[in-house]
């Protein structure tokens, strides 16, 4: 008579192996897609193959967090179908493995995958995503003003904003804000040494000088 713990370990090992195989397949496919997408920026600044492979590798934990539940479902169904088609589950039943014990094994395996998903999503993926963005921005001479001598320009309602440089995701250097009235007459110019992200979609400007344009002329 085969011992029940041996059958349980065998069933769990089969599930772990199948889920790992499916997950690796998905991760390889998504990494290939990421690589193809990033190759379009090859040669921008210092963004070369080494940096591209680094960024793609750092994105893997984020994909693992998204794909692990799907991989668990596919891998578990495959193992159960394979055991049934080969009559292995019938032999397990004859050896004393009840459906309740088999369900308990699946529950234990599920708890392990839940814990793994939580750990990846809370601790690994956020840091790897941040590191990937830092590598990408640093290699491409940062996102803002790397290729334009005047920095980056963008429009926010009736304001035109110029940022000279942004080497970090939450810090801007050299901010100019041109505000216009409804008739698009220049109303105010705000110049700041730097801007720091304060959360909730707000930025805190440091070293600010404002020039207002009124009927009596400009006032700084």
Cβ contacts of 25 within 8 Å, gap of 6 or more: none
Q: Tell whether the model's pLDDT for residue 1 goes beyond 80.
A: no
pLDDT score at 201: 76
The Cα–Cα gap between 55 and 128 comes to: 9
For residue 146, pLDDT beyond 60: no
pLDDT for res 141: 58
- Site of tokens 């009559």: 87
Query: Is residue 188 within 8 Å of 197, Cβ to Cβ?
Result: no
Instruction: Classify residue 19 by burial, with Cβ atoms within 10 Å: 0-12, 13-18, 19+.
Output: buried
Q: What digits encode the pLDDT tens for the residues 169-182?
A: 678 888 999 999 88
Say what the pTM is: 0.65
Residue reference for tokens 């708890």: 111
Six-digit token string for 11: 């069933």
Instruction: Write out the H or E segment, with its range, that includes residue 90.
Output: helix 88-94
Mean pLDDT, to the nearest integer, of 84-93?
87
What is the distance between the alpha carbons of residues 41 and 137, in angstroms, rounded to a whole number? 12
Tens of pLDDT, residues 99-127: 888 899 999 999 999 999 999 999 999 99
Phi first, then psi, for residue 132 (nearest 5°) are -65, -45
Q: Rounded to an integer, what distance in angstroms lies between the CA atom of residue 141 and that of residue 135?
A: 10
Distance CA 194, CA 206 (A): 5
DSSP 122: I
């Amino acid at each position: 008579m085969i011992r029940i713990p041996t059958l349980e370990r065998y069933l769990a090992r089969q599930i772990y192996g199948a889920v790992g195989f499916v997950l690796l397949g998905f991760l390889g496919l998504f990494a290939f897609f990421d690589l193809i997408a990033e190759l379009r920026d090859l040669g921008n600044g210092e963004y070369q193959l080494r940096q591209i492979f680094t960024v793609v590798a750092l994105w893997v934990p984020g994909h693992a967090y998204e794909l692990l539940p799907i991989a668990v479902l596919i891998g578990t169904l495959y193992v159960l179908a394979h055991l049934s088609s080969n009559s292995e589950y019938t032999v397990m039943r004859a050896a004393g493995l009840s459906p309740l014990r088999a369900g308990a094994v699946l529950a234990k395996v599920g708890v392990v995958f839940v814990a793994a998903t939580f750990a990846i999503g809370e601790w690994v993926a956020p840091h790897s995503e941040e590191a990937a963005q830092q590598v990408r921005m640093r290699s491409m001479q940062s996102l803002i003003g790397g290729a334009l001598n005047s920095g980056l320009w963008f429009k926010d309602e009736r304001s035109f904003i110029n940022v000279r440089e942004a080497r970090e995701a939450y810090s801007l250097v050299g901010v100019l804000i041109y505000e216009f009235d409804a008739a698009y007459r220049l109303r105010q110019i705000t110049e700041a040494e730097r801007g720091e992200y304060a959360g909730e979609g707000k930025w805190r400007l440091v070293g600010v000088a404002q020039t207002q344009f009124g009927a009596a002329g400009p006032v700084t």
